[in-house]
Amino acid sequence: MIGTTPQPPATSSWFRTVRAHPSAVLLVVQLLGIIVYPFLGSAPVGRAVFSTFALVVLVIAVMAIRLTPALSWVAALIGVPVVVLTICEAALPDNTDIALWSAVFHAVFYFYTAYALIRYMFSDNVVTTDEVFATGATFTVLAWAFAYVYAATQLVWPDSFNAAVNTADPRSWTELLFLSVTTLTSTGLSDIAPIRPHARSFVMIEQIAGMLYLALVVARIMALLSARAARLGVSHEELRAEASILDPSDDPTGGSEPDGAPS
């Protein structure tokens, strides 16, 4: 039809939205993972599905890092072994050596992703929509990182974690992630407890990290709000000054001269 502006395809519009908000996508996928994990179970097929899902999360995390000030080559250097080990873990789910190194490299990668997202949030003095989502994504990334630390811990030091049920069994990924989230949020709801010294050390570090991250985010938000309020205050004063020059009737004094001034 003549005079109508062609609309961009829905696919390209969706891709632009995803590209503009990688932190939001990362947050949504990780929250979706929390819902999906219980359905996967511990069967080899379920673990293979989980490994595939982990690869998707990994790609999204790399996207988020590439759009941040963090160095992309560092992410690639860590990410390539993660991809290879994830595929190997899906093919050989009972190999403890592969599981151990996969957990170690996953933890390193997620910690680096958290570092990149924090740099992203602190890179300027303007809060964008994606930076708001990065606040939540960083929190979930840290929870994933410590869950992988716990997975490696129980492989190196068996029986590191105890639980209310099946106390002699190794803790599943869902249980370790639940422990990590409850520890990071300091809710204290977990029925899983670290019982060996190394496990307790890592749990204490995560507790401290959770408190420091909350304090960091609150301080950052308050500083940005204060700076924004100061900028708005200056802008309003400048607008009032310009208005009083252009239109003396807007001047609080009405444009009249002070009492006693010579006419």
HEC secondary structure over 138-200: HHHHHHHHHHHHHHHHHHHCCCCEEECCCCCCCCCHHHHHHHHHHHHCCCCCCCEEECCHHHH
The reply to whether 129 falls in a domain is yes
Q: Is the pLDDT of residue 263 over 50?
A: no
Residue 244 has pLDDT above 90, yes or no: no
Task: Please indicate whether residue 85 or residue 259 has the higher confidence score (pLDDT).
Answer: 85
In a domain, 262, yes or no: no
Q: Taking 80 as the threshold, does the pLDDT of residue 169 lie above it?
A: yes
Predicted confidence (pLDDT) at residue 172 exceeds the cutoff of 50 = yes
pLDDT digits (tens, 9 = 90+) for 105-149: 999 999 998 988 888 888 777 777 777 888 888 999 999 999 999
Q: What is the value of pTM for the model shown?
A: 0.79
Segment 2-39, tens digit of pLDDT: 555 555 555 566 667 666 778 888 888 889 888 888 88
In a domain, 225, yes or no: yes
- Domain carrying residue 234: 12-249
Q: Is residue 2 assigned to a domain?
A: no
pLDDT at 1 over 50: no
Residues in the chain: 263
Using pLDDT thresholds of 50, 70 and 90, give the confidence band for residue 251: low
Residue 256 belongs to some domain of the structure: no
Residue 259 forms part of a structural domain: no
258: in domain = no
Q: Is residue 255 part of a domain?
A: no
The rounded distance, in Å, linking the Cα atoms of 56 and 63 is: 11
How many domains in the chain?
1
Q: What CA–CA distance (Å, rounded) separates 178 from 180?
A: 5
How far apart (Å, rounded) are the C-alpha atoms in residues 92 and 207?
33
